[in-house]
Structure 1
Amino acid sequence: MTAPVGIVLVSHSTELASGLRLLVEQIGSEDVPVATAGGTDDGRIGTSYDLVLKAIKDVDRGGGVIVLPDLGSSVLTARTVLEDHPRTDVVLIDGPFVEGAVAAAVTAASGADLQTVADAAREARNVFKL
């Protein structure tokens, strides 16, 4: 069996990231590692460089990691972390936060590789709700 792709959810809100993690874990699989980097180090609204870096390390099982930010400074923070710690097996995703996370989790649970999981998260923006 190949190593699973890890998923990092980066949000301004601890609660938003934690809630999405619960949803993703129920839809995905226990075999797909998911971590959150929500809020600041002291629990306020915002983003934390250290929490993003820790979350990447926590979900890394050797299959690569996707980092999915919600908006604004979470994107900038995630981008800065990846610029400071460049790795070809960690991919920043420009995709919808909720739909992208769900698509990534389902795809990763099927045993897909990093590129396929990243593509699924990005392509979730094209799925109509109505």
Structure 2
Amino acid sequence: MSRVSLLLISHSHDIVNGLKSLLNQVQPEVNIAAAGGADGDIGTNAFTIKTALESIYSERGVVILFDLGSALINAELAVEMLGLDDGEKVIFADAPLVEGAYAAVVEAGVGGTVEEVAAAAESTKQLQKIAGEK
């Protein structure tokens, strides 16, 4: 069964590759690509993101999670270079990278649609990690 894929983008190669490793343990049947760092340093690169997106793109779609604003800019450029219609088969999730990716991989693993996977990721914005009064 084909599942929605995830693309993880960070300014750090180590962050997204470590997160990808964690998510592969949680749900090994979901295709996950990581694009992090630029030319051996921090940053993002639209061409690296494009290559990662191509490697996991399927008819079920891709949810893209990212860390900082310029990662979004480069991801949008990569989607444009591929001629994909973001919002149809590619959705950018406005979510915290780690928590959002974890929720997304669980939803993708149970066969959720691209919209459901993105919604699961975005629902983590409301996650309270420590219970109690502040």
Structure-2 separation of matches of 1:82 and 1:57: 10
Aligned partner of residue 105 in structure 2, secondary structure: helix
- Report what 2:122 is aligned to: 122
Looking at structure 2, the residues matched to 113 and 53 of structure 1 have their Cα atoms a distance apart, in angstroms, of 22
Please provide the CA RMSD for this pair. 1.2
Mapped to 1, the partners of 2:52 and 2:110 lie a distance apart of 22
TM norm structure 2? 0.89
For these two proteins, the number of residue pairs brought into alignment is 127
Distance 1:25 1:90 in 2: 20
Question: What corresponds to 1:10 in structure 2?
Answer: 9
| CA–CA distance in structure 2, aligned partners of residues 120 and 59 of structure 1 | 20
1:111 aligned partner, one-letter code: G
CA distance in structure 2 between the partners assigned to 1:15 and 1:6 by the alignment: 20
C-alpha distance after superposition, 1:70-90 (max 9, x if no partner): 112112111222344332201
Distance 2:126 2:3 in 1: 25
In the aligned structure 1, how far is the partner of 2:29 from the partner of 2:125? 25
Query: What residue ranges of structure 2 are gaps of 5+ in the alignment?
Result: none
Percent pairwise identity: 37
Unaligned runs of 5+ in 1: none
Q: Which runs of 4+ in 1 moved over 6 A?
A: none
Task: State the partner residue of 2:53.
Answer: 56
Q: In structure 1, what is the Cα distance between the partners aligned to 2:78 and 2:45?
A: 10
Larger Rg: 2
Where in structure 2 are the equivalents of 1:25-36 lying within 5 Å? 25-27=24-26, 29-36=27-34
1:1-130 residue pairs with structure 2 within 5 A?
1=1, 3-27=2-26, 29-40=27-38, 42-84=39-81, 85-87=83-85, 88-130=88-130
Helix, strand or coil for the counterpart of 1:10?
strand
- Counterpart-to-counterpart distance in 1, 2:102 and 2:47: 25
One-letter identity of the residue aligned with 2:101: A
TM-fit CA distance, 1:39: 0.7
